Amino acid sequence: MHLDDVHRFEALFDGRKDAYGADRGAVVKRPLTTRMYTDHLRGLPGHGIGVFPVRDDFTVKFAAIDLDEPDFELARELAGLLPGHCWLEKSRSGNAHVWTFFSEPVPAWAARAVLRAATLAMGRPEVEVFPKQAELRPGMVGNYINLPYFGDSRPMIWQTGEPEASSVEPWHPYSFEAFLHDAEPRRSDSEEWIRRARAIGAAAPLPRDDSEFGTRSSLHMCATYMLEHKESNPLTSGHRHVVLWNLAKMILNCREYDEADALMMLEGFNDAGTAPLSQRELEVIVTNANAGQWTSTGCDDPIMAPYVHPDCPIAHG
Interval 274-286 mean pLDDT? 92
Helix (H) or strand (E) holding 63: strand 59-66
* Separation of CA 248 from chain center: 18
Are 142 and 234 contacting, i.e. CB atoms less than 8 angstroms apart? no
pLDDT above 70 as % of the chain: 93
Helix runs in the chain, H state only: 3-12, 34-42, 72-80, 108-121, 176-183, 190-199, 221-228, 240-252, 259-271, 279-291
Question: What pLDDT score was predicted for residue 136?
Answer: 82
Interval 236-255 mean pLDDT? 90
Question: What pLDDT score was predicted for residue 314?
Answer: 84
Assigned CATH topology for domain 3-199: DNA primase, PRIM domain (3.90.920)
Amino acid, res. 29: K
Q: Is the pLDDT of residue 282 over 80?
A: yes
Residue 9 and residue 210: Cα distance in Å, rounded?
A: 42
Q: How confident is the model at residue 209 (pLDDT cuts 50, 70, 90)?
A: very low
Longest dimension (CA), the chain: 68
Please state, rounded to an integer, the average pLDDT across all residues of the chain: 89
Is the pTM for the entire model greater than 0.85?
no
Closest CA to 136 of 247, 259, 252: 259
Instruction: Please write the tens of the pLDDT for every residue from 7-42.
Output: 999 999 999 999 999 866 788 999 999 999 999 999
Establish how many alpha carbons lie within 13 A of residue 281's alpha carbon, considering only the half-sphere containing its beta carbon. Answer: 12
CB atoms within 10 A of CB 86: 25
Q: Is the pLDDT of residue 115 over 80?
A: yes
What residues contact 94, with CB distance under 8 A and at least 6 apart? 70
Query: Kindly report the CA angle at 85 between 83 and 88, in degrees rounded to 5?
Result: 115
Instruction: Please write the tens of the pLDDT for every residue from 59-95.
Output: 999 999 999 899 999 999 999 999 999 999 998 888 9
Question: What pLDDT score was predicted for residue 165?
Answer: 52
Q: How confident is the model at residue 238 (pLDDT cuts 50, 70, 90)?
A: confident
Q: Domain boundaries in the chain? A: 3-199, 221-304
Amino acid, res. 45: P
Residue 90 and residue 154: Cα distance in Å, rounded?
A: 5
Residue 249 and residue 243: Cα distance in Å, rounded?
A: 10
Q: Is the pLDDT of residue 211 over 60?
A: no
More confident site: 294 or 98 = 98
Comparing 49-53, 182-186, 214-218, the range with the smallest average pLDDT is 214-218
Residue 148 and residue 229: Cα distance in Å, rounded?
A: 34
Comparing 15-24, 171-180, 249-258, 294-303, the range with the smallest average pLDDT is 294-303
What angle do the packed helices 221-228 and 240-252 form, to 10 degrees? 120
Amino acid, res. 161: G
Interval 168-193 mean pLDDT? 90
Are 160 and 144 contacting, i.e. CB atoms less than 8 angstroms apart? no
Residue 68 and residue 59: Cα distance in Å, rounded?
A: 25
Q: How confident is the model at residue 281 (pLDDT cuts 50, 70, 90)?
A: very high
Question: What pLDDT score was predicted for residue 207?
Answer: 59
What residues contact 177, with CB distance under 8 A and at least 6 apart? 5
More confident site: 9 or 313 = 9
